[in-house]
Structure 1
Amino acid sequence: MFDCQMDGETENQMKPLSRKNRIALALLLGGAVLIVLVLIARQLMGHLGETTASTARKLGDPIPVQVSRVQRGDIDEVLGAEGTLVESQSLTIQSEIAGLIREMPVQVGDSVERGGLLLALDPAVAEAGLVSAREQAASARTKLALNQKKLDRLRGLLRDGLITLDEVEKAELEVVEAQNTLANVQARLEQARHDRAATRIVAPAAGVITELVVEKGVAARPFADLLVLAVTEPIHFEFGINQEKIGAVREGQAIEIRLQAYPGRIFTGKLRLIKPVVDDKTRLAIVQAELANPGGELRPGMRGLATISNRASGLKVPAISIMSKRDNVAQVFVVDAQGMAQLREVKMGLQGGAFVEVLEGVAEGEQVVVVGQAGLQDKDKVRIGDEYAPK
């Protein structure tokens, strides 16, 4: 009987579950598994510090972040920009007098020193004019001397009562006329000397010939263009700088330039001009630096890289804390004493290495978020992990 009862109980226990019971059991087991998985996931995410802002917000947990304190110190910023050497001036050379071009020793692309011959006109006409002016000047000086001698003699006779005053006054007028004549002749002589010198046209500055308008053998007309000289001593380096950095450069500031044509060499100069207009498309302001070029080795068209160094001492934050940068204004998250993230607008200064200078918006010692900003919102509750220490 005992065996039979046991068989009956066993048979009763092994009886299949109803459909309703099977569903209930499945739900129970599924819920248990889900709870275990959530607990494991939360533990893993908490351990790894990888909880996203949206996930933490859904779970009602503080959002994990890393912070760094606003500190005071030096910031070294180096601005770099590509640019091109350009002439400091472009001079159109003209002749002051008419004449046949007898010599023209330069060609396009030639370098010339200050005072170097550009072209020479036939001097025959100018020399003839100079000879004539000299003769006229000599004659005028002789006549003035004779008239002055005559006046002195008549004044003596007047004192002795031998002549009338009218004769002396007439002699005085003759002296004045002779003086005026000599002055006019002297002016013509100076002009003749100038015209003779003007037959040799020389470079007013060191540079490169960029255009020839005339050629040897043709007649030059007064004040007609002869050639174009690009002045290269000094020479200028022209480049563009972002509008947000205009305040970081100033005229007279030192600059270093590395040219592709001279690898390994550094040329130094000073900023001479910051153009007041910013290009609408590139948002760049054009800047010019001036370099000495006594040997003429630097030529217009050479390309290179300009670097300008700045140093400031003030408040700074890690560069990775900066968000939504526009010109010199950006945003950062600051964690307050209650562990709440506050979105702040800050005004930036220099940017060097791992740090950015902050001129306005934060105070020394405040904590800014450097890791975990993605998805973070103003007034979010945060949980601070290890403090970030940029090098």
Structure 2
Amino acid sequence: MKTYTHTHLLLVALCTVALIALPGAPVQAAGDDHDDHAGHGHENEAKGAAPAADPHAGHGHDEEIDPTAFCKEHQLFEREDALCQAGLIAALQPGQGLKVRLASTEVAAKAGIKTAKPQSMSTAAGVMLTGRSEFNRNRLARLTAVGGGVVRRANGEVGQRVTKGELLAEIASPEGAAARGQHGSAVARLAQAEAAFAREKDLFGKGISSRLEFQQAEADLGAARSEAEQLRAQLAGYGVAESGGSQSRLRAPLAGVIVEKHVAVGDVVAPGTPLYTIADPESLWIALALPETRVGQAVVGASVEARFDGLPGSLFRGRIVSVGAALDERSRTLQAVAEIKNPGGKLKAGMFGQVKLLTAAAGESLVVPAAAVQSIDQGSYVFVRQAADLFEVRRVEVGAKEQGLVTILFGLAPHDEVVVAQGFALKSEVLKARLGASCADH
């Protein structure tokens, strides 16, 4: 190690003092060539130069907002633009909002953004029961072969929607062919009886024919008409047209979905063979089993609300439509059936869920799926669709959360179209704007 003498140290100290004493000499750390104030524009200030322009000037981020300022990029007044004034979101009160304009009308669809109206949920007390969904038997049809024969056509597959009267199958049926032949003969006899009656009526009017002959012709005409109508109904029962081919045609008796199909082209079927089952998925039944202590609360017309684990965020409402006459001897439960609306058919038959049998009258509250509520600065917000490319980020007051549904106490109306899927994508745009990625980046 190198040893410094007192003389060396004294020389260093004197040099240091001399440097400090020099007028106007800047003091810097040894080996540091950086000016701590470089780039801060002090030279410009000394020369009277104007300060650098603020890229966000005019957007009012740190100043009072000009009520007439308009953002040409978003086509919104800045006082209501969430991307230009993202800092105002935290100050919103429940029911107030700012708007978010997307780059185009296609952005929302490409991002998978979906909307739905809030659902109404009763605040009444009730009994919680386990229920099982099943097809509404008043909206279900089991189709069988009326006559035997060979299947020539078998349309549709399980899960496919059909309209009322749509052709499902054609069967070359001997019974149908025979019925068509009999109907044709009856129609010919009816035409003959009509001609005979017209002739006898004319003769009777001229006094040539007797009343007995006229009455006989009239009776023959009535019998011919009755026979033709009977055979026409038989022909329709076989599904055979009055004109054209003699094949038996099977058509959908109601609009719905094919839930069972037991036939293929080439099958030889006998009368009564099951071919199709069609059900209307828009209306389902919920089978309930009430304990003996609750049978007094099961009355026709009582309201129910059902939720299913497989469909979080969805609420189904309906009423009791039938109540059993006796308890099951083994389970000591009373069977009851509720009918619910199932828009879009998203609830499937055979699903188990929790059903609330309402027992008292009360008000209603709006609920939305939990995914619709976004948290910003510890506040609760939802995005409400205003147009294809315009959404409002709105502050709401929330209540209880239960089985994927959040109660909205204030801030929403029943007609509002709330974003229920990919709302986080809109939230991200707002958060980016707060970080400074404002107008130019949107």
Of Structure 1 and Structure 2, the greater helix share is in 1
**Higher relative contact order (Cα pairs below 8 Å, separated by 6+ residues):** 1
Of Structure 1 and Structure 2, the greater strand share is in 1
